[in-house]
Chain A
Amino acid sequence: MLKSRLREYLEPRVSIIVGTVSPEKMPASCRAIAIRANDEVTSFTVYVPVATSQETIANVAATRRIAVACSRPATHSTIQFKGTVREVRLAPEADHEFVSGRLQAFADELGDFGYPRKSIASLAHWPAFAIDVDVEALFEQTPGPNAGASLR
């Protein structure tokens, strides 16, 4: 059941944000464009734009710690993965279409709620870094009294 719920957050049209922290304990965040996971959702790859993720990449290189929140804009339903970064790669050209498609889907999702689709579709997204993450913890983050509850 949890697995099927997790799958919902790996589908197109989700909003993805990434949190990291420097060795000096200064937090940083950036928006990610796409995410995909293995079948068991024990590891995933999150794609962040090269243009806006320099600090994120520097932080994970130093600490390997990462938090990734995936949200469904229609319901604000949100989960947060916490994990360890296994590898950071420059995303290969073969992933370009996947990442672009996810951005367009996100723009379509927000467009349905009145946000300007074309402005969102103009967010920087490529080239991107692919960050491979091993999941260590999973939390409920839907706004409400259960936010912060451990899911796995």
Chain B
Amino acid sequence: MISSPTRLTSLSRCFLGVIPSIVSTSDAEGIPNVTYVSQVFYVDEQHVALSCQFFNKTRKNLDGNPLACAHVIDPVSFQAWRLRLRFLRSETTGQLFESMKVRIEAIASQTGMAGVFRLLSADVFEVLSVERVEGFLAAPPPEDAVEPVSAAGRRTELRGLQCVSEQINKADDLETLLSSVLEALDGYFGFAHTMVLVTEPPCDQLVAVASRGYGESGVGAEVVIGEGLIGTAAKQRRILRIAGLDSNLRYGRAVRREVLSRESHPVAPEIPLPGLPDAQSTLIIPLTVGVDLIGVLVAESRALAGFDEWHEGYLEVAANQIALGIDRMSTPDGGDDEGAVAPRPLAVAKPGPARPKHSLTYYAADDCVFVDNEYLIRNVPGRIFWKLLTTWSREGRNEFSNRELRLDESLGLPEFKDNLESRLILLRKRLEEKCSAIRIERTGRGRFALVVDAELELVEK
């Protein structure tokens, strides 16, 4: 049993093979051996596995002395951890063996070593203890440790991870966090077409809140959990990597794109999910914190095998960071800090003779808002928008705070993880796309203004 309170799952980044690990063993006579291994594989909370690719000294030693020591390193924090291990068995078939084999072959292929690296067995160890290696870093890595680098450079993914982590730590609102993370994934990983969807309570659907590299933002598009590629990956909490997308799927997307280009005002409460009509491969990574699904990160590529195991390992680390960041922003005290930062000056709308007129209709039955008979937004963001509009109309007030929305029981926000930030992003972006005369402008941490540069007719049905 593990004697340390540190849980193996909390070291998940160490088990993705980003930084090689050190493994030491000894033979029965006490002659030590030390070697690098490309990856220590997480099996479960009490077990890890090492790949046996050649019947080497490490493997021979384990027959004489089953004890071993592994040093693993977190690729983001560079903290090292020491695992005391006891060799249990070698597996040559089964799920663990197959999953290790796939990854090793992918790495071998990536490094031009296909056929040289071959998994002989998955060697399973009991984890006797987990200890942090104190003093491994003389000082925390400097804040500017992430150095600018060309995306063409080798192993830029590692810097990309650090960059993603930095961006998440620096962001003080969800919109900044998501846009900077997608930018980093583009710059460092070369993933030019990405989107993030977040769960919409009561968690039966996902809503797109950010995208990059698509002509249309797709913000507000909904996906039912359990349906389609994205919904399936979300439901099963499993990474889905598909090379060579089904031609029918691409055909369907192309048709949809064509229809949309011909319809000048599609009046339908469905916002199409962004997607490359000629996508050849996709990678879908569930964003989870513990067992909770926070959202999904989707990347698409026009290359036939645009994503491989190598990318998957790095993106899984990035996804963990993104999930934690979104989770932090989604809790009531995550982005709520009224008064901590002086509100920014508000851009005042200047009335003029040519102010546009807009008619906004709210359908209470499904909290759906239409602008000039065109669908704008629905559900909780729709309710929030209507609350802002009616307050502005009734009281002439246009400054609001996250806190007052959270305290407004009529909006029905859950007390915990209310996703208010993502709902406001949704509203802001939908307004940008469909009614730019009304804007949501951030005025400080946890504060925003409703800027109306039009004459509005508000109708409630």
Contact = CB atoms under 8 A, between A and B. Distances in A.
Contact of A124 (B25, B67, B136, B144): B136
Interface stretch (A6-14, A20-28, A34-42, A91-99): A20-28
B56 interface: yes
A46 B26 CA distance: 20
A67 B34 CA distance: 6
B137 A67 contact: no
A45 interface: no
Contacts of B71: 29-31
B345 interface: no
Contacts of A27: 24-26, 32-33, 65, 67-69
Contacts of B157: 114
B141 interface: yes
Given A28-B69, A116-B146, A122-B141, A51 B32 contact: no
Given A27-B67, A116-B145, A82 B31 contact: yes
Contacts of B137: 119, 122-124
A25 B26 contact: yes
A26 B146 CA distance: 37
A151 interface: no
Contacts of B138: 51, 122-126
A115 B141 contact: no
A21 B30 contact: yes
A121 B19 CA distance: 16
Nearest to B64: A25
A43 interface: no
A128 B30 CA distance: 25
Contacts of A82: 31-33
A139 B58 CA distance: 13
Given A65-B30, A78-B36, A114 B155 contact: yes
A141 B37 CA distance: 11
Contacts of A130: none
A66 interface: yes
A71 B36 CA distance: 9
Interface in B262-281: none
A29 B24 CA distance: 6
Given A67-B34, A122-B140, A114 B153 contact: yes
A75 to B, nearest CB: 11
Contacts of A20: 24, 32
A80 B34 contact: yes
Contacts of B94: none
A34 to B, nearest CB: 15
B214 interface: no
Contacts of A111: 147
Contacts of B155: 113-115
Q: From A17, A25, A71, A125, name the one whose CB has the most chain B CB atoms within 10 angstroms.
A: A25
Contacts of B145: 116, 118-119, 122
Contacts of A114: 149, 153-159
Contacts of A28: 24, 69
Given A115-B155, A119-B145, A52 B69 contact: no
Interface of B: 19, 22-26, 30-36, 53-54, 56-57, 65, 67-69, 71, 78, 80, 84, 116-117, 133-142, 144-147, 149, 153-159, 162
27 contacts: A17-B22, A18-B34, A19-B24, A19-B34, A25-B67, A27-B24, A27-B25, A27-B33, A27-B65, A27-B69, A28-B69, A31-B71, A49-B135, A52-B134, A67-B31, A78-B35, A80-B34, A82-B32, A114-B154, A114-B157, A115-B19, A116-B147, A117-B147, A118-B144, A119-B137, A143-B117, A147-B54
